[in-house]
A and B are shown apart, each in its own frame.
Chain A
Amino acid sequence: MHEENKISSSDIFRDDIVTSIYNRAKEISEAVVNAPKQKTLDWNNKLDDILTSKWTGFPIMLLILCFIFWLTIVGANIPSAMLSRILFWIEDKLTEIFIFFDAPSWLHGILVLGMYRTGAWVVSVMLPPMAIFFPCFTLLEDFGYLPRVAFNLDRLFKKAGTHGKQALTMAMGFGCNAAGVVACRIIDSPRERLIATLTNNFVPCNGRFPTLIALSMILIGATVHSPFVSFLTSGIVILLVLSGIAVTFIVSYILSKTILKGTPSTFNLELPPYRRPQIGKVIVRSIFDRTLFVLGRAVSVALPAGAITWLVANIMIGDASILNHISGFLDPFGIAIGLDGVIILAFILGLPANEIVLPIIFMSYLSKGAMIELDTIEEMRNVFISNDWTWLTCLNVMLFSLFHFPCGTTLWTIRKETQSLKWTVASFIIPTIVAIIVCFSTTRIVYWFI
């Protein structure tokens, strides 16, 4: 068919072809459609004027974000406490059964103190916030708000040398970073897609949200006692999210000025009409499809991790447990950036799924010291305090959790999407360096002032 290739083609033909098609479409639709004359302003446009305006767009966006977090935190508190009371009551019963059958204590340790307890913790801490957060988010998506967010953020992204659609991939990242990375396919330019992929990890996924929420409750509970605790808690979570977004812009900017140089491409983002969300369907879908799916994955990773943590904490080499040896080894590095060896180890063990980082920290502390009943945030706090945590440690764990390397699933997805080991490694190293720098400088700055 090479001969035909020589036939010169001109843009005029293409234009004419396109015009003909458009004219035909117009002709047909005029013949079959009977529509009233469009009113100049319908409520769709009016709403868009407000939601995407230069002045009100951002504040409204922030308010909506605040409201969702506040709802999540307030709403999750009571069911969380109830769930954990039930689950830990079951743990007591399980222990009684083990005692009744005179089971060896190591078996009880692995199964009950290791696997069951970690699993119960993951369920009671993660399930309620997710069951509130996901449906809220899906409702907004169904309503048609997400593209407006992308529209609002487009100017900022352009300044950072990247693509406005990155906002949509970030929004997906709130659900799951692996899903966010897949969503980067909507960006056509390979350069901008790569930037979006590399920085997606800076929006906290639902695996890290419960961690951030629990820690901010612990942090606030530790300093203030007032009816505004839930407001303060959601305020902290929002600050964290915003700093994640800020880092996204900074890292995107640096990347687009250095190794991924180029000019941002323009794009047409169609703002879809607002549609009344199908509330019932959305809630059912987001609970069954997203919440239970994510929870299932978290539990299936948490169970073996719980067993390993218990074993590591209870097998003695010489005069100390393996856990003590490893965490002792990691301690100097951990302390230098305002954490400790146990926390670093937990983040490493938590590579398969970020959800289990906090439970692992917990298990490690508990297996070292005395057993404590744990059904409130208050008691969790006591465990941390008795292990030398200060508010600074708490803050650093949150920051590290926000900025550190992506989870195993996300890394695997990046490898698949980019088809490149180099960029996968980069997506591991860049966030890790950012996390270390942020934690280190936070610690130094705080020490400077105190």
Chain B
Amino acid sequence: MGLTCSSCKKKSIVDLYHVEKTSSNQVIVALAGNPNTGKSTIFNELTGLKQHTGNWPGKTVTNAKGFYTRKDKEFILVDLPGTYSLFANSVEEEVARDFICFAKPDATIVVVDATCLERNLNLALQVMEITDNVILCVNLLDEAEKKHIQIDLKKLSNELGIPVVGTVARNRKGLEVLMDTVYNVCTKKIIPKPKPMIYPEAIETELQKILSMIEPLVPSGFNPRWIALRLLDGDTDILDKITHYTDCKGACNHA
């Protein structure tokens, strides 16, 4: 038998973030966003599920999973806990980050609150550092309108380099466009090209140094620049996880 997955100590990380695809027509889509931006509402509207929604942050504590079909694809939608960042300061942040990092969803929708875009964009920018396939969903446009806030979605899309969709999830407004956009990203009809974050020179120099060292070592599927950044900010935990993840995957394949 040799090494099997069950003999692997850290199999949990593979299992935890492993979403079973039963056919090649299935794609995985993650739903990330700040707390209380309406992720669960979008999740319910898209999947027809009735995940409990409520007007308080931290309501979603687990990764809820749901399904919907669009054209020829079946979408597995995963509702991540609401977080303000992905620095793994709390369990929720770790869960959200690890899912995007290890489950490798075909697309990640970042839901942002139109009434406080600036704060919400922090998370979007961080997600864009891990994966390219990001769609920004600017939700709660009705509340923004009430406060006379106008957002130039086209310009936002240009600035970020990723598709942007405006929605009012409670009334299903814009959800069709969102689903089409997700479909197009998953089928590579749209290829988001997130503009990379440019850091101050001191950091960039260090980054290049680290990158040249680790690039050959980084397993495929992980973004070397992002890992280099984590090394810079002293997050060793993610390294252990990646090491165990690849070890375990390897063990599984050899068994």
Contact = CB atoms under 8 A, between A and B. Distances in A.
B114 to A, nearest CB: 9
A30 B210 CA distance: 33
B28 interface: no
B200 interface: yes
Contact of A28 (B61, B149, B160): B160
Given A188-B90, A289-B50, A9 B56 contact: no
B217 interface: yes
A146 B56 contact: yes
B202 A16 contact: yes
Interface in B230-250: 231-236, 239, 242-243
A25 B159 contact: no
Interface string B183-224: 000000000000001111011001000100110010000000
B203 A20 contact: yes
A273 interface: yes
Nearest to B228: A4
A4 B213 contact: yes
A36 interface: yes
Contacts of A142: 53-55
A270 interface: yes
A146 B149 CA distance: 27
A224 interface: no
Interface residues of A, number: 50
B89 to A, nearest CB: 9
Contacts of B199: 16-17, 20
Contacts, number: 144
B72 interface: no
B122 A21 contact: yes
A34 interface: yes
Interface string A259-292: 0000000000110110100100000010001000
A7 B233 contact: no
A33 interface: yes
A11 B234 contact: yes
A272 B56 contact: yes
B61 A24 contact: no
Contacts of B234: 9-11, 13-14
Interface stretch (A77-85, A178-186, A371-379): A178-186
A208 B148 CA distance: 47
A317 B247 CA distance: 66
Nearest to A145: B55
B36 A272 contact: yes
Which of the listed residues B58, B122, B152 has the most CB atoms from chain A within 10 Å of its own CB? B58
A32 interface: yes
Interface string A1-27: 100110101110110111011101110
B55 A141 contact: yes
A13 B57 contact: no
B122 A25 contact: yes
A5 B232 CA distance: 10
Main secondary structure on chain A at its contact with chain B? helix
A34 B121 contact: no
B47 interface: no
B55 A13 contact: no
A143 interface: yes
Given A32-B117, A272-B56, A24 B151 contact: no
B20 interface: no
A404 interface: no
Contacts of B179: none
Contacts of B176: none
A4 B214 contact: yes
Contact of B121 (A1, A18, A29): A29
Contact of B125 (A7, A21, A182, A183): A21
B126 A275 contact: no
Contact of B155 (A25, A26, A32, A168): A32
B3 interface: no
Interface string B7-48: 000000000000000000000000000011000000000000
Interface string B75-109: 00000000001010011000000000000000000
A151 B9 CA distance: 41
Contacts of A17: 199, 203, 229, 232-233
A30 B152 CA distance: 11
Given A9-B232, A28-B121, A183-B61, A33 B210 contact: no
B230 to A, nearest CB: 9
Nearest to B243: A1
Given A17-B203, A25-B118, A31-B155, A270 B36 contact: yes
Contact of A24 (B53, B152, B197): B197
A165 B56 CA distance: 11
B52 A32 contact: no
B115 interface: yes
A146 B91 CA distance: 22
Residue among B85, B118, B150 with the highest chain A CB neighbour number at 10 A: B118
Interface in B147-180: 147-153, 155-156, 159-160, 170
A435 B179 CA distance: 53
Nearest to A285: B50
A22 B150 CA distance: 21
> Of B52, B56, B206, which is in contact with the most chain A CB atoms at under 10 Å from its CB?
B56
B119 interface: yes
A279 to B, nearest CB: 13
B160 to A, nearest CB: 7
Interface of B: 35-36, 50, 52-58, 61-62, 85, 87, 90-91, 115, 117-119, 121-122, 124-126, 143, 147-153, 155-156, 159-160, 170, 197-200, 202-203, 206, 210, 213-214, 217, 229, 231-236, 239, 242-243
13 contacts: A5-B236, A9-B235, A9-B236, A14-B87, A17-B199, A21-B197, A32-B152, A34-B150, A141-B56, A142-B53, A146-B54, A168-B56, A182-B61
Given A4-B231, A31-B152, 13 more contacts: A1-B217, A5-B239, A9-B234, A13-B232, A17-B229, A25-B122, A28-B156, A32-B153, A34-B151, A141-B54, A146-B55, A275-B143, A289-B52
Closest 10 CB pairs of A and B: A9-B234, A14-B233, A25-B121, A29-B118, A144-B55, A185-B61, A34-B150, A35-B149, A141-B54, A186-B58
